[in-house]
Structure formats: structure tokens, C-alpha cells
Structure 1
Amino acid sequence: MNKTVLVVDDQIGIRLLLEEVIQQEGYNVELALNGKEALDKVLDNKPDLIMLDYKLPIIDGPTLVKKLENDNIVVPTIIMSGLPEKAEDDVRDLKSVFKTIGKPFQLNDIRQLLKNILE
């Protein structure tokens, strides 16, 4: 069965770049541009992994993860942030967060994370 990755970022360039990399690795991709849209997609069809921007319009990354965990929905999540140290502090207590990565990120790091989490 094909694994699905939900990419949530308000920057179209990052969404499209990650979509391309994830598809090249053989996974399905769903895209969302804010936390509200991401929440709807997760409730509709739970992905195997969420790649989530820390700072988002409507519902930010940490708030989205907390909301899902409060509903007992735990999906491995990678938080992407321009300030990874601050983001890491904010998400330390969230059990879904697998890793926090800084932006800009290396595509090889992304590929390795996908393999580590999804295989």
C-alpha cells in the first residue's frame, strides 16, 4: 500500500518542491496551505506522515498537532521552521513530532527522513 505524506506550508514554492521530492521517492502527496485545511484533510483521510510548517495562517503548526493529539490522532510529524531551536522548544511535549528541521533544508535530509519514518 502506498504511503501518503501531507505537506502543509503557506509558501507555494516549498509545497511544490516537497511534492516533487516525495513523489520521486514513491509516496503519495496531499497539499495544504494552512492549518485549517490540514486539519480537514487529516480528519478526512489520515496520512502516514505530516510535514508541517511551524508558522502558518489560521492554525499554526504546534496548535494543529496539539489539536490532533487531543482527539487521539497521532501522525508522525516533521516540523519545518526558519527558527528550528525555538520551534523545538515549543513542540518538545508533543508525542507526534518526530523531528524539527530548519529551513532552508537539504533535500537529501528530507529523503532520509521519509525513509526513516515511512519504511
Structure 2
Amino acid sequence: MIVDDQPGIRLLLEEILKTEGYEIKTAENGKEALDKIVNQPPDLLMVDYKLPIMDASALLHRLEESGVVVPAILMSGLAEELEGKKDQFPMVEEIFAKPFNIEDARERVNRILAKKTNN
């Protein structure tokens, strides 16, 4: 699932990951994502750190409180700042700096999903 308030980012990531054969769901804020995830948790959550209504921090904490564990990638223009906070989010496996390299994003997503499949 891709969660970003910028439609262009959602569309770009959706197209990239669909070419890899993944089924993609999207949300534009944390509340919308939470509502969708409760019904059907995704294999991977790609979420922008700063979101309207419910930000990534609140979303990840709400999921943990609900017992939903989903590997996550945080995306942010402030990626260096987030690296120091990564320990606060046990589900976060990667932090993507925006703007990101498309090939790098594809490889990192594939690696996380392959690791999940092998566990």
C-alpha cells in the first residue's frame, strides 16, 4: 500500500510496482490507510512521513496497538532527520529520501518483500 498526500508520488510508485507484478492499493492520508489496512493488511506499507489528518507516526503506532504488523518504508524529504527516530518505529525497514531514485526504490521494495516471503 502506498500512502502519500501527493497524487503524483502515489501514481508514480503505483506504476513502478505494478510493472513488478504487485497489486497496489493507495491512500492519501493515514486515516484512509488505517481504515483499509484493518480490513486487509498489505504485504508492505510505503508511507510519507508528513500526511494530513493522521501522519505516519500516528498510523504506525495505531497499527502496532491493533496488533497489525506490516513491514514499512517511510518516505520523507527529511530522511536524515528520520534516521535518528527509526528505533521508534519497529515496523520500519527502510527510509526513502524524497526525491528518490526509481531503480533504487524498486530494488529495495523487492528485497523487503522477498525477505518477508522467505520468513
TM-score normalized by the length of structure 1 = 0.92
Q: Does the alignment pair 1:27 with 2:29?
A: no
Aligned twin of 1:88: 83
Mapped contact 1:77–1:96 kept (Cα < 8 A):
yes
Which structure 1 residue ranges, 5 or more long, are not aligned?
Answer: 1-5
Within 5 Å, give how 1:40-79 maps onto structure 2: 40-79=35-74
Which residue pairs with 1:3 in the alignment?
none
Task: Single out whichever of 84-93 and 9-18 deviates more from structure 2.
Answer: 84-93
Q: 8 Å contact 1:62–1:91 — kept in the other structure? A: no
Aligned pair 1:115/2:110, yes or no?
yes
Of 63-72 and 30-39, deviating more is 63-72
Change in Cα spacing, 1:63 to 1:91, as seen in structure 2 (3 Å) is farther
2:117 — aligned with what? none
Quick one: which of 9, 12, 35 aligns to 2:7?
A: 12
Deviations 1:63-93 (A, max 9, x none): 1101101111110000000000222233322
Residue-pair matches, total: 114
Q: Secondary structure in 1 aligned to 2:42?
A: coil
Structure 2 residue ranges without an equivalent (≥5): 115-119
Please list every run of at least 4 consecutive aligned residues from structure 1 whose deviation after the TM superposition is greater than 4 angstroms: none
Give the share of equivalent positions with the same residue, in percent: 49
Query: Whose strand fraction is larger, Structure 1's or Structure 2's?
Result: 1
Distance in 1, Cα, partners of 2:38 & 2:86: 21
